[in-house]
Amino acid sequence: MSLTSDIVLIGTGVAPLVAASRFIAEGKKVIILNPDWDFFRENSEFPLDPFLPSSEILDNPLRLKKSTPQSALEILRPDFPGAVEYWEEGIQKEGFFDDTAPCIRGRSRLWVHSPGALLKDSVGYSQEDIEEIYLKAIDLKFQSKNLSGAIISKNFPGVSCVDLNSEHELLKAVITPKMVDVDLLRYRIGLLEYVRERLGKQRVVCNATQIELTKDGIQFYSQKSMKKSKVSEGVIVFWTPRLSYWIESYLAAKLKLYIKNKDIFKSILPTGVRVWEEWGLLSRELLSPQVIGIYEDMVVWADAEGDPEKNKSDLNVLKILKAGKLIPWKGYLSFKPENSLASAQSFSDLSRFCRDFLNWDWFSVRSMEPRLVFQWENEKEITAELSSYKLCLVPGCDGPLMNVVDNSQKVTKRFL
């Protein structure tokens, strides 16, 4: 079977779907190839920016600005086929609010210093880091406040304030208002359903294997047969961890044939792959949805969908996004997926956090999902002119959803 396309998109998550939505609006013929059997099996996007390790926010304070409600709405709304709502505590929206639409929530972000932050390989925040975050937030016109003592525990999600120990009195923190998290699942599924409806089954292909670039297009194996597509404009590859083996073993060699700088591929390689663990803990008490807390290597918030004030009875799952080990790029391709599962150290750290900081005498794990996300230093794409079309390799397609969508939109705009 042969198809004719203007654009071929190769990827495993949200990035190719965002690009497809824009290309469809421009009247382009598009094919999406996903080497995985499910678009979101990799689950490489985050609903918020975890701002960990701490050096990343301190070296790049503009990341704070990208997580403001105004920036998030400007990024996420244009290519989503429907409403994207916004919720903020104490603000009643006038007019209709779609309870089924993905919701951007403005919550205060509370950074708490951790006593072990100065230890080697720590990803927590020292008291000096807290002060620096406060100053940079003020420079960006965030209405931030310094906090200390037990008031931090009263604001941190999930903390039981019954019989707080003396260590809580020594804590230092900074709180910044109106930073966002997103209904990630609703956003992803909404995009996928829209793209599938517009393109049809033949042009949204999962489990595509043996993908190869040809002189006039692309060929791939799907549903027990080889398929081909002529390409008139370009092929865009959105790089996430699950595509790494194909990119390293096939695409890198292809790029070297068509670009003058033979070492350019090495210049954009990720520094490594971070293992993240997303835990769901059951809370005995209803949780406050107002604040997202950051302590040591953990980001902590009350899990919610839509408007939390309309679903207060469901606020009993405490989400914890924990930063795990960093795998160097050279060792990643030989890294076994089962090694990304939670270790005994992870359980020990979580138990200590619940007992000593949240002041829980017991906890129950509802879910735990490990995931791998790249650490990038250079997110500039590589573009090569092939014989009859353009090839583009795009890094920075995993991590916080706002960054993923923003990178996809920028590449799509340049292509158009």
3-state helix, strand, coil in the chain (%, to 5): 35, 30, 35
pLDDT of residue 139: 83
Instruction: Indicate the helix (H) or strand (E) that contains 392.
Output: strand 390-394
Of 304, 249, 387, 411, the closest CA to residue 87 belongs to 304
Choose between 67 and 57: higher pLDDT: 67
Please determine, for residue 396, whether its predicted confidence score (pLDDT) is greater than 80: yes
User: How many CA atoms are closer than 13 Å to the CA of 138, on its beta-carbon side?
Assistant: 9
CB 46 within 8 A of CB 184: yes
Q: Which domains does the chain have, with CATH numbers?
A: 2-44+186-270+378-415 (3.50.50.60), 48-182+271-375 (3.30.9.10)
> How does DSSP assign 140-185, residue by residue?
TT---EEEETHHHHHHSTT---TT--GGGGG-EEEEEEEEEEE-HH
Please determine, for residue 296, whether its predicted confidence score (pLDDT) is greater than 90: no
Mean pLDDT of 323-336: 81
Give the tens place of pLDDT for each residue, 20-30.
999 999 999 99
Give the tens place of pLDDT for each residue, 131-184.
888 888 888 788 889 998 888 888 999 998 777 666 677 788 999 888 999 999
Q: How does strand 364-375 pair with strand 272-282?
A: antiparallel
> 């190769």: which residue's tokens?
10
d(CA 316, CA 219) in angstroms, rounded, equals: 49
Which range (120-124, 355-359, 362-366) has the least confidence?
Answer: 120-124
pTM for this predicted structure: 0.92
CB 358 within 8 A of CB 284: no
Mean pLDDT of 352-367: 90
Of 277, 195, 149, the closest CA to residue 30 belongs to 195
CB 308 within 8 A of CB 157: no
pLDDT bin (cut points 50, 70, 90) of residue 198 is very high
Which range (39-48, 50-59, 313-322, 394-403) has the least confidence?
Answer: 50-59
